Amino acid sequence: MRISAAVTEVPGGPFVLDELELDDPRDDEVLVDVSAAGICHTDLICRDQWLPVPLPAVLGHEGAGVVRAVGAAVTKIHVGERVGLTFDSCGACPCCLRAKPSYCHLFFEHNFAAERADGTTALARGEQEIHSHFFGQSSFATAAIARERNVVGIESSIPLTIAAPFGCGIQTGAGAVLNTLALASGSSLAVFGTGAVGLAAVLAAVIAGASTIICVDLYPARLELARELGATHVIDAQATDALAEIGRLTRHGVDFSLDTTGVPQVLRSAVECLTPLGTAGVIGAPKLGTDVSLDVNQLLTGGRMLRGVVEGDSVPALFLPALIRHWEQGRFPVERLITEYDFDAIDQAAADAQAGRTIKPVLRMSS
């Protein structure tokens, strides 16, 4: 079928809107008419080749829409169903079998190789192949091919423009708090970076009953929004020594911290602000090969832990509906993070996100 898609042609280049040909779904695949797609930091660093996704490709991995067709082997997803698209995984490795699909042994192949497991692609421009299946979907397009495994049915009436970013950024921040850290009521949390992931973490910490939620950022407007969403304290790192202020506020440090920035010195601060036996989660992704310096004795003598977090340790088929229920109950107002853009304004949306003018841009594929 003929679709419109935003093609990443060259590293760091603009998204080029073009007409492409999309395959019919294979036996285990689902064809989705995409209504909306969030723009995530991962899309932008892959566009810029911080991570080596082959080009030309259609990126996008926070899609939501309506199922147009399903393959012969698909049983859980049905034509006409409203769905969200999320990350892909193999389903058969030890991590997948332990219900930890975001640590799939083949996570890179299923999400960053931008092709099917057999090396084929579902997209073409004339005789030229365009890489598809980015995060199992390539949803910067009016339609996408996904696998049954990374499609989640949406029974709620939640608008698809709100549901779309649940597939990555929202579940990552919320899951880091609720799943990875398993933050208990009365705990303290410091969140470094108040973008979509960090603010989703704030909302989840409120749901979990955290007594102290400290947000650190460089943007006063984002810090004010963090306070409105439930942060008990905010720190402008341009004006205040964040570590000293966290120490003053908590006396012994926080139980948990999250670094969503991908900046090595910020990650070090996320570790240094911990109380003994505290845990820091690292979410922000820098360029491949980026090193961080830590004081080994601080980790050792305080029993502190540093934990990588991918996709919020989510099992999407279970976790996304749970987050949507929180939204229905008014406890997870992620719409306050979202700015909607028409699909043809994708470059403006990306620029606004990188400049900090927009927290979570979401593309509408039709006006």
Domain shared by 32 and 125, yes or no: yes
Domain co-membership, 202 together with 266: yes
Whether residue 68 lies inside any domain: the answer is: yes
Domain of 59 in residue numbering reads as 2-155+333-364
Residue 101 shares a structural domain with residue 245: no
Residue 164 inside a domain? The answer is: no
Same-domain check for residues 6 and 140:
yes
Tell me, yes or no, whether 292 and 341 share the same domain.
Answer: no
Q: Under a CB-based contact definition with an 8 Å cutoff, are residues 89 and 54 in contact?
A: no
Domain count, the chain: 2
Is residue 210 within 8 A of residue 250, CB to CB? The reply is no
Residues 189 and 270 occupy one common structural domain: yes
Residue pLDDT, tens place only, 40-56: 999 999 999 999 899 99
| Pair type for strands 212-217 and 188-192 | parallel
Say if residues 80 and 66 touch (Cβ distance below 8 Å).
yes
- Quote the pTM value: 0.96
Kindly state whether residue 344 falls inside one of the protein's structural domains: yes
Same domain, 252 and 293: yes
Are residues 185 and 223 located together in one domain of the fold? yes
Query: Tokens representing 40?
Result: 């995530």
For residues 238 and 102, membership in a common domain is answered with: no
Q: What are the DSSP calls for 38-89, one per residue?
A: E--HHHHHHHTTSS---SSEE----EEEEEEEE-TT--S--TT-EEEE----
Q: Is residue 262 part of a domain?
A: yes
CB 98 within 8 A of CB 67: no
Contact residues for 18 (Cβ-Cβ < 8 A; gap 6+)? 4, 5, 7, 125
Task: Kindly state whether residue 242 falls inside one of the protein's structural domains.
Answer: yes
Q: Given the structure tokens 């990306």, which residue do they identify?
A: 350
CA torsion through residues 13, 15, 16, 18, sign: positive
Q: Are residues 202 and 57 in the same domain?
A: no
Supply the DSSP symbol for 198.
H
Helix 220-229 to helix 196-208 angle (10° resolution) is 20
Give pLDDT, residue 367. Answer: 55
Q: Return the pLDDT at 366.
A: 78
Q: Looking at the domain assignment, is residue 161 inside a domain?
A: no
Non-local (6+) Cβ contacts of 251 within 8 A are none
Domain membership of residue 141 (yes or no) is yes
SS3 333: coil
Distance of CA 213 to the CA centre of its chain: 21
Q: CATH number, domain at 240? A: 3.40.50.720
146 and 46 assigned to the same domain: yes
What stretches in the chain show pLDDT beneath 50? Answer: none
The CATH number covering residue 346 comes to: 3.90.180.10
**316 in any annotated domain:** no
> What is the C-alpha to C-alpha distance for residues 132 and 88, in angstroms, rounded to an integer?
13
Contact yes or no for 194/222 (Cβ under 8 A): yes
Q: What is the pLDDT of residue 15?
A: 97
